[in-house]
Structure 1
């Protein structure tokens, strides 16, 4: 086992894609074993390549696998996290956690978007690239290290750092969730870009959030926290879209 791990590290550091593999290592918490799993996870079908056996290689099979694992892990997590809630609540929360807009925003928050290999020009393809990549990464982790490591990645490295469960639970009454719900119904791609600024040398940060809908700026908001800025940006977008924000 030790020899195999050492061989994996030597292979990683001698690879021309060392920067990408070190990014994966920092993200998942271990040195990747079979590097091709991770290469494939970040290859959209529009950038498919052919391997030495003549097989077409992209992330679609890994995305299929990761989607199933993500759904199972989230279902188990919610079942144990909310022991007093009924099936309807659990189903609704699971839907919120795995919807396409949430996965897309996670992909940006985690920095995965920087490494995606894609030549997509179709708007439908573009709207699915990011969430599909995250699911494919989960599939790659499962194949490389097994279910327990994939589960740990989701439960310990994604949910606590990037997802506000309380906000999701209360999401029926907040602007960000209303905007995401609208995007699901209309099949539009919505994401948030949030910056931290220190105006005039202030020690207190100000957050500026911009809503991007299908690669176009649709709203802007500021606040003393990232959450407040995103809520205000979502409210601005909803207002411009003519959707009630009472």
Structure 2
């Protein structure tokens, strides 16, 4: 049986009165009074509160449910003015009217909606915006996540120095510091959280930011410390300083692994690649840059000290390395190489482009002439050629062999079976008239950048526009070997560091031997 005040409310609706005040059913009022009485009782602030991780998750879940249901109530529930019109409206069925009138939850929800609209319960906005502000005068309390001072949060003793490495810069915001160590796997079961809340409950965004900051700060450090290093060298140095294995060492040294909160099996963490620990280090830097208002000064100084030993080792290695001779392969080929027998470059150790270097041997006729080591395949090959250029006995041996080799058998023959007997006769005539073709560059001539155009003009003027010089270029162990052909006949060969240079060198060789060029043109006519 409804209370009399509830009956009065029904009667007021039937009269069409507008509710300007929000009644509360006596049963609910008694509950409110009981709660108020409980609140007024003095409780000991020193009474210990025992909470486990499950309790924390239940509290979080309950709070999120409150927020969700408040939004639903405010969006869908009519206020009391609307309700008073709805229950006397002919547009609503009698069954629905009775359900609304006799359901005290609807009555109270309507009252709550009206009170909210009239600004009587502003705390609702704070709940929905996660902005509740409980002011406390208890000393020692600390700022809670994304809000004002409310809960005393104990902090890890991060200021204790770790032997062998500089002190870890502290993050002053406890919530930010805590989020660093929360892995995404811990949020998999929190389906009750909104996407925006999920994203900011773990360290993935901090890791993303920290990765970028680390990359840029390390770039600044090595750019200043190695003023003569090339772009390629700087890239390799940076890669060695920010790779996962190196960052994991720092993370473990600072004890980040002990603070990690994840749902990943510990055995999998120990036996895996441990990238998760490198990610922790990046997440810490991400939180640190936010805490420092995006000022990198302290972070740069800390990382420079942290990487001091590695930077020193790199500097010592660089001092002992000779500058790369980009023409080493071409020089070696010009001294001892022929088309039939020339230096070969074989990979002994396959590098990975960062930590593990390539090791390449320069060989000739099965004999190792030199060995080169470098972070890249190309540089290792050039260093092998540089080493071979210092091998005097081998240079003497193969240089003498090259001098004694008949040019006519030192090049692979290139003939075209489809040529007419008349053209074949011209080839034979060319071989008989002058046995010095093909001319082989010794790598010592000064290359004329316009040589190809000059040769083109001479050849087409004497033989016609159809007989333009052709260039065949192939890459051989990092260098480029070019052949200059006219009517399929190889007239000159050269080796250089690029296709264009090798082709221009071929043309230069022929132009410098003008008498030979003229005899060749005469034989083709």
Q: TM class by shorter-chain length?
A: 0.5 to 0.7
Q: CA RMSD in A?
A: 3.6
Q: 1:51-97 CA distances to partner (integer Å, 9 max, x unpaired)?
A: 99632121111100100011011111111111121111111110011
| Deviation, structure 1 residue 24 | 6.5
Change beyond 3 A, Cα 1:85–1:53: same
**Unaligned regions of 5+ residues in structure 2, if any?**
1-139, 144-149, 162-166, 321-351, 357-525
Do the aligned residues in 1 keep the contact of 2:141 with 2:153 (CA within 8 Å)? Answer: no
Do the aligned residues in 2 keep the contact of 1:62 with 1:137 (CA within 8 Å)? Answer: yes
TM-score (norm 1): 0.55
Change beyond 3 A, Cα 1:25–1:170: same
Change beyond 3 A, Cα 1:15–1:107: farther
Runs of 4+ aligned structure 1 residues displaced above 3 Å come to 14-17, 24-31, 49-54, 121-126, 168-173
Change beyond 3 A, Cα 1:116–1:24: farther
**Unaligned regions of 5+ residues in structure 1, if any?**
1-8, 183-246
The answer for the alignment partner of 2:485 in structure 1 is none
| Deviation, structure 1 residue 119 | 2.1
Do the aligned residues in 2 keep the contact of 1:103 with 1:131 (CA within 8 Å)? Answer: yes
Answer 1 or 2: which has greater helix percent.
1
Matches within 5 A, 1:19-168: 19-20=155-156, 22-23=157-158, 27-30=167-170, 32-33=172-173, 35-48=174-187, 54=194, 55-56=197-198, 57-121=201-265, 127-148=274-295, 150-153=296-299, 155-161=300-306, 163-164=308-309, 165-168=311-314
The CA distance in 2 between the partners of 1:83 and 1:51, in whole Å, is 52
Change beyond 3 A, Cα 1:31–1:92: closer
Q: 1:157-190 CA distances to partner (integer Å, 9 max, x unpaired)?
A: 23314541122456799xxxx9x946xxxxxxxx
Count of equivalent residues: 165
Change beyond 3 A, Cα 1:171–1:120: farther
The CA distance in 2 between the partners of 1:32 and 1:39, in whole Å, is 11
The CA distance in 1 between the partners of 2:186 and 2:273, in whole Å, is 13
| Deviation, structure 1 residue 29 | 4.0
Change beyond 3 A, Cα 1:40–1:84: same
Q: Which of 137, 142, 145 is 1:11 aligned to? A: 142
Larger Rg: 2
